[in-house]
Amino acid sequence: MSALPRRDAILLAAATFAATGLGTLRSAPAAAAAPGWNDDWAAAAYAANPAAATASGAESSALGPGAAFDGNPSTRFASNFADDAWIRIDLGTTIRVTGVTLVWEAAYGSRYVVEVSANGTSWTPVYAENAGTGGTVTIHTYPRPSLARYVRMRGLQRATPYGYSLYAFQVFGSVPTPAATATANLALGKPAFGNYYQDAGHTPQNAFDGGVPNPLTGDATRWASDWNDNRWIAVDLGAGARITGFDLYWESAYAVDYRIEVSQDNQNWQTVYQPSAAEVARRAADVGTPGSSTGIHDAITLPSAVTGRYVRLQGLRRRSFYNPAPATAQFGYSLYEFQVWGTGGSAAADYAPPPADPAGTYQTVFFDDFTGPGLDRSKWRVVVTGSTMGSVNGEAQAYIDDSSTLRVSDSQLVITPRYVPGGYAAPGGGTYHFTSARIDTSHAVNFTYGRVSARIRMTVGDGFWPAFWLLGSNVDDPSVSWPGCGETDIMENIGYATWTSSSLHGPGYSADGNIGAIENFPAGQGIDGWHVYSVEWTPSGMRFSLDGVQYLELLRAKIEATRGAWVFDHDQYVILNFALGGAYPAGYNQVATPYWGLPQSSVDKVAAGGVNLAVDWVRVEQMR
């Protein structure tokens, strides 16, 4: 799934259209100014009061903290030479901080946090860096608490012997609308929510920051869902409100049909507006092409005021595009701004903190050491291509349930791919020249958080693709699917003797854009020896280990701020499989024949026999 492409769009003045008795579209007035949505609040605060910029210390008077906020790209701040050095800005007023940009000089931080505070004393992290490489770092705060007057960068570890050095420290956001006695946009700066969004640069919060480009075109701050009709975006007004209308400023990927709902408790919802059948038909007929399509403005006045604290837009049907004609395609919903008009509400609402890591000691909740006479099918499901699943990733094999590819022997699980030169006909159609095996715990063991480990040995061969991984248990829900379900690759190997890889896949970081790393074995070791591959999965992140030594830590706070939604707070299940060729191997070996990602030398190895994935044991532990 690729990101929503940028498309040219022009403002289409909204005519008045008949709608249901739940509300009407009205002629669009000029958009009210929303000061600050694309301004650097830190620069403004420093310009108004140079004393607003402070630091733990500076290398010299010429390199003081103000140089990070002066808007001059050639000046810089350089801290005192200490790992725990910090720099902060007093914005002078409380805003919802939606983004922070750090522009590092060569003396950057390898580990640091960006924090916000209402009082300059109690701090809340909005970003955590554990493997910094300098350069320009763009941080999005959603969905972390971010109502703040103060923002700081607090160092944890320097990458060089010098202090931390920043050319720029920028802060973006908006002032939340306070409790209103006169009609106002009650949604401005309030905490937003949604189910699935494309990436960290297109979160639900973007639809409530005041950003309305004129004309409605380009990639200005906007919410963009993933490619599914059943997507929603909501806002917490902070307190009960009397609501009289809405303004929706859509990018060209607008909703053909949708509902606007209100709620007092965020559980029970009342529909207050839905486009009429005629309006839905008109929008559906406007197909166009991605490069020439237009954004629209829905200006909605309710026939009578409604009360509620929460407001939600529930998408029902996305617009279609010719891409290229006559074929059509649909992207996600794309909304620049969602304004809620009325009185009441409050400026006090904020996001809840993420769940805390569990306490206790690890206890085994699942274990299999394959000591029985065969595979324990009360623990493992055997996957069959054409029945359980279809082909994926351009791989060459079909998964079958047969002792030729899957057996338990000498207290080991052994998966052995086979070459079938005459072809294997899979159930439901499709012919394959290789068979292999894939098993999972989806019918027996699904769990949230824990430490997952296996002792494994593999065969070296270019394009062989054995894997030990976790997949979100909601993958088969059509309203979720992949990568919204989340995928945790504990160990993947594509035939290279001296390294394996680990990664995460989710919205905004899937397929080739996944987040992960290669782990090289110590000298003299490789995949053909027995090794223990593990992941420790907690609400705060994933920590991958080889033989008990951690080599990769992927932090939730970093992923949310820079890549996309953290989709790992729900059940996953364990998978073991052996694939042949496909996208991942081909990306490295560039082999196209005789099979994509699988050279003739590896075909010959499979045909000769003895290629396998051997598993000594699998263990799942959880805190108790």
pLDDT in tens, 327-354: 999 999 999 999 999 999 999 999 999 9
Structure tokens at 559: 């992923």
Encode burial over 340-349: b for 16+ CB neighbours within 10 A, e otherwise: bbbbbbbbeb
Strand (E) or helix (H) holding 331: none
Phi, psi angles (nearest 5°) of residue 438? -145, 130
3-state percent helix, strand, coil for the chain, nearest multiple of 5? 10, 45, 45
pLDDT at 292 (0 to 100): 77
Phi, psi angles (nearest 5°) of residue 433? -95, 0
Q: Please, are residues 413 and 425 in contact by the beta-carbon 8 Å criterion?
A: no
Stretch 158-169: mean pLDDT: 98
Q: pTM to 2 decimals?
A: 0.92
Q: Please, are residues 370 and 411 in contact by the beta-carbon 8 Å criterion?
A: yes
Residue 2 has pLDDT above 80, yes or no: no
Give Cβ neighbours of residue 179 (< 8 Å, ≥ 6 apart).
Answer: 238, 239, 344, 345, 346, 347
Out of 17-31, 45-59, 229-243, pick the least confident: 17-31
Residue 37 has pLDDT above 90, yes or no: no
Average pLDDT, the chain: 93
Longest dimension (CA), the chain: 81
Give percent of the chain with pLDDT exceeding 90.
91
List domains and CATH numbers for the chain: 41-174 (2.60.120.260), 188-344 (2.60.120.260), 371-623 (2.60.120.200)
Beta bridge partners of 541: 538, 555
**Any idea what the Cα angle at residue 255 is, between residues 478 and 232, rounded to 5°?**
55
Residue 34 has pLDDT above 80, yes or no: no
Place of tokens 């159930």: 427
Q: Please, are residues 320 and 284 in contact by the beta-carbon 8 Å criterion?
A: yes
Band of pLDDT at residue 212, cut at 50, 70 and 90: very high
Residue 210 has pLDDT above 90, yes or no: yes
Out of 11-25, 195-209, 262-276, 434-448, pick the least confident: 11-25
User: Strand 165-174 to strand 77-78: parallel, antiparallel, or no bridges (unpaired)?
Assistant: antiparallel
Band of pLDDT at residue 23, cut at 50, 70 and 90: low
- Rounded Cα gap, residues 10 and 405, in angstroms: 58
**Any idea what the Cα angle at residue 477 is, between residues 472 and 482, rounded to 5°?**
50
pLDDT at 293 (0 to 100): 79
pLDDT at 468 (0 to 100): 98
- Rounded Cα gap, residues 13 and 10, in angstroms: 9
pLDDT at 8 (0 to 100): 26
Band of pLDDT at residue 290, cut at 50, 70 and 90: confident
Band of pLDDT at residue 17, cut at 50, 70 and 90: very low
Residue 1 has pLDDT above 90, yes or no: no
Helices (H) and strands (E) in the chain, counts: 6, 38
User: Strand 11-12 to strand 295-318: parallel, antiparallel, or no bridges (unpaired)?
Assistant: parallel
User: Strand 397-399 to strand 431-436: parallel, antiparallel, or no bridges (unpaired)?
Assistant: parallel
Distance in Å from the first CA to the final CA of the chain: 38
Structure tokens at 550: 């951690």
Strand (E) or helix (H) holding 193: strand 192-194
Stretch 201-219: mean pLDDT: 94
- Rounded Cα gap, residues 445 and 68, in angstroms: 51
- Rounded Cα gap, residues 553 and 540, in angstroms: 10
- Rounded Cα gap, residues 391 and 399, in angstroms: 9
pLDDT at 32 (0 to 100): 37
- Rounded Cα gap, residues 116 and 97, in angstroms: 8
Stretch 267-296: mean pLDDT: 93
Q: Please, are residues 182 and 121 in contact by the beta-carbon 8 Å criterion?
A: no
SS3 assignment for 11-45: EECCCCCCCCCCCEECCCCCCCCCCCCCCCHHHHH
Report which of residues 429 and 434 the model is more confident about. 434
Over residues 387-424, the pLDDT tens digits come to 999 999 999 999 999 999 999 999 999 999 999 999 99
Residue 33 has pLDDT above 90, yes or no: no
- Rounded Cα gap, residues 400 and 345, in angstroms: 59
Stretch 535-550: mean pLDDT: 98
SS3 assignment for 146-180: CEEEEEEEEEEEECCCCCCEEEEEEEEEECCCCCE
Place of tokens 């000594």: 616
pLDDT at 174 (0 to 100): 94
Over residues 119-155, the pLDDT tens digits come to 999 999 999 999 999 999 999 999 999 999 999 999 9
Band of pLDDT at residue 428, cut at 50, 70 and 90: confident
- Rounded Cα gap, residues 226 and 507, in angstroms: 8
